[in-house]
Structure 1
Amino acid sequence: MNALQGRRAIVTGGSRGLGLAVVRELAARGAQVVVLARDPGRLRDALAGLAEQAFGVTADLREPAQVRRAFAEAGERFGGRLDFLVNNAGAGSYQPVERISDEEIAHQLASNFTSAVYCARSAIPMLRAAGGGVILNVSTEAAQQPVSGLALYGASKAALESFSLALNQELRADRIKSSIVRLGRMKDTGFSKGWDPVMRAEAVARWQAEGRFAAAGEPMELDTVARTIVDLLAVAPGAQARLLDLREFDAGM
């Protein structure tokens, strides 16, 4: 029996990388998905071929008014009910603290933390109307294992983890579960695609000197991570994974 057939999900940052892999996995299992992303062209291209299962809504999740509008559109499509929210959207760049700009501080905090708060706030009434559900927040190993040049990125994700755990206390009576997936390295995420080349080269040289790549292990395949995330959404109502620390499996270890 397919536990996800006909279920309703919202995925943020779903037009590329891990978010899109999660959208495709949900659709393959029969879920209906509303995908939130900022770029309308990229969103349209990402959802080509998923017309029966996925619907895109363009929104800048850093703006609370746009989040309210996006969730209102999703509510109209889903009859006011929601089973799953996947807070996947996020952003980070290599920025030593003394050089980070005011704009970048605001951008990373909004992209990685307050946007997820806005989305959770809008999702809760819809999850309650469905009799319960799951808010799944995507975090990173940098939240617990600090990385040079990614201090703000890791700190904003650590705030997301604390927020996620607190949600469990608030929402238990409503049968709404809040879960964290803390991810290690992944392939093809596009995480550093927009970085300045000079900054990227500086980051790579520093992390190599610190032995970070060797310590982090091999990167995971996006599809493997996406399947695991969707498996967590499908966990039976009487169980919950509050925090899953997900890394590449090395059979030789």
Structure 2
Amino acid sequence: MENAHVEDAWVRVPGAAARWLEQLDPEHGYSGFQPPRRPDAAWVLHAMYAWDEGLVTTTHDDLHKSVAEAGLTGTPRLPEPAGDVSELLQGSIVTGTDLGRTGHPGAGWRRLRWRELARGFGEPVVPEGRLPGNRCLRQAHPAGSWSAAIRPPAEGCLDRESWQRLIGVLLRYTVSGADTRCLAYYCPLVTNEWEEDTVLVGRLGDAGPLYDHPAMNSCPSNLWPEDRSWIVYCDWDLWGTKIVGPAALVDAVLADPELEGVRLPWTG
């Protein structure tokens, strides 16, 4: 299905359709509802990438300041810091972290697994008691900004390639497959709509193109089938996406070679 038709395939329904999620997580609807284990759960870590020619000590913040001070408009050999820097305040740090949709940066970059980076620094992938976010892999960005040779995990949205892969797993482990009627909730931090919850309804088979819905700048904050047998949760403030549902589905997510999945039992 072409992305141009995604608005026809996913239509808006009353926000009350997401009301049951508020009962599961009443405090976080503004950034996405985190469901508890139902009965199993895993997190898919958002993809990061490393420059093929090796790491550098120059950070995204260093690069941004150098380009700004020189008044350059061209593209340096390493891309400028990821994300929208137009709203940066004076004295703030360009971390290099994107907010919203991302994908593979292109030629010259390779996938860098969280486990690889964590092993190199001798630290856990996700510290016990934490969620996947900016307090993870701290030795890789001790002063806040990442090496300019790393594209760190995006905040708030699963990367495009992992989203497509996850939808493929969901299709295989959902009884009705592509015809499964699903609902997608977008939090107010994505939509900037605070008066009425934004909920769309469509087919699981059309969930791939939903990633690039032209009215949104993120994947859904929550996605679930009408029977609520599984839920996908992507918080606007995190670097990981949680999948809850049957053990067989969660095992399949963890076993998928293209997804970097991890169980975090302290997250419920």
Could you state the TM-score of these two structures normalised by the residue count of structure 1?
0.23
